[in-house]
A = this chain, B = another copy of it.
Amino acid sequence: MATAELRQNDGTIAITFSNGATGAFPFIWLKDNDPAGFHPQTQERVTDLTAIDLDVKASAVEADDSTLTISWDGEDTKTVYQLDWLAAHVPGQYAADPAKTGFKHWRTDLGADGIPRANAKEVLESDAALKEWLKQTQIFGYSIVEGLDDNTEAGMDVARRIGFLRETNFGVTFEVQSKPNPNNLAYTPIALPLHTDLTNQELPPGFQFLHCLANEAVGGGSLFCDGYAIAEDLQKEDPEAFELLSTVSVPFRFHDGEVDIRARKKVINLDEDGTIIEICFNAHLADIFDLEPTLMTRYYRAYRKYMAMTRSKDYVVTLKLKGGEMVVFDNRRVLHGRDAFDPNTGFRHLHGCYVDRGEFESRLRVLSR
């Protein structure tokens, strides 16, 4: 049995729910969230807040087993709220979100054997397998899907189980292979140090999918490291470097004959609670740094330190992808790279695409209904 107490002094209703949990609910918030104020079909909010007095006052409140009923000062109609709904929306607490799986940071000792694996046919056919694969991919930041058909659509079909593909200036999908007149280092056979893709975009792509169709050349191993784990360790080992990388933005740029796309980004991005939510690290796309000279020298020290950590044997995991395998990773967390390969010794061909975090998280929520 819940109890509710009217507190005119701070303009809230204090509720103690039957399980002992408590919450203070401001009058204005209760008015704004009148259950009648949502469109019955679209579920969007249609309450007009400007028609509500900021100083609106409740005059009486009554709780029973499942509902809370409020009388309002100077109004005849009462408003009824479900207690379950109120308990799920206690002010000051984030609502539950099935897309928030948490993260398990990893370092080299997790090893290539620790990477989650899923079977393409199962992910394509079973929602339960899809959900489990998405959860593991988000927790670790990367995974491998095995058993793909030998055509360029096979990996993309798996990605589309999540949502539509994120288009970029490189197209909706892209071929990673050595090409004449490359406009991007990925399209050469040279080694690629660890990086995140498209840091020159305001929103770099979320999850990346690289379906390996052939990997017969000598070299061409794939390298990964967990940018969150590195940032976490940096914060402990070198707080000044962490502070600089998480507060100072630097310019990134990609330009070719068709586009000139620029963005300023911080290498380490935190949310309002100080949690690491994004890594933007790409030495190829780093534009000419434009910081004040004294800050510049300090920044270079911090930036170079993070860079060195991305290549350290403590953090890097090496995989040699096989034909029929697809590596999937959160491009805004897990850095990727490759060893140089010799295109004269065999064919190396990856087919890639991106799906943004928004679609990824949405799919996890819908699958959790």
Chain B positions within 8 Å of A261 at CB level? 358-359, 361-362
Copies in the complex: 2
Contact with B along A28-59 (1 / 0, CB 8 A): 11001100000101111111111010100000
A290 and B12 contacting across the interface, CB-CB below 8 Å: no
A285 and B44 contacting across the interface, CB-CB below 8 Å: yes
Known: A285-B45, A303-B49. A260 touches B366 (CB 8 A): yes
A202 and B358 contacting across the interface, CB-CB below 8 Å: yes
B91 and A44 contacting across the interface, CB-CB below 8 Å: no
The 10 nearest A-B residue pairs measured at CB: A260-B365, A44-B284, A203-B203, A92-B292, A24-B293, A259-B362, A28-B300, A89-B288, A261-B362, A91-B293
| CB of A159 to closest CB in B, whole Å | 14
A82 at the interface (CB under 8 A from B): no
Please, how many angstroms separate the alpha-carbon atoms of A32 and B287 in the complex? 11
A95 at the interface (CB under 8 A from B): yes
Known: A42-B183, A261-B358, A293-B92. A304 touches B26 (CB 8 A): no
A343 at the interface (CB under 8 A from B): no
A54 and B301 contacting across the interface, CB-CB below 8 Å: yes
Contact with B along A281-321 (1 / 0, CB 8 A): 00111111111111011001101100110010000000000
A349 at the interface (CB under 8 A from B): no
A352 at the interface (CB under 8 A from B): no
A116 at the interface (CB under 8 A from B): no
Chain B positions within 8 Å of A304 at CB level? 49-50, 52, 54
Measured CB to CB, the nearest residue on chain B to A247 is B272
B193 and A93 contacting across the interface, CB-CB below 8 Å: no
Chain B positions within 8 Å of A296 at CB level? 26, 28-29, 91
Residue of A187, A190, A202, A251 contacting most chain B CB atoms (<10 Å): A202
A76 at the interface (CB under 8 A from B): no
| CB of A67 to closest CB in B, whole Å | 17
- Cβ-neighbour of A42 out of B49, B169, B185, B272 (below 8 A): B185
Known: A12-B293, A202-B358, A308-B50. A97 touches B285 (CB 8 A): no
| CB of A111 to closest CB in B, whole Å | 24
B286 and A45 contacting across the interface, CB-CB below 8 Å: yes
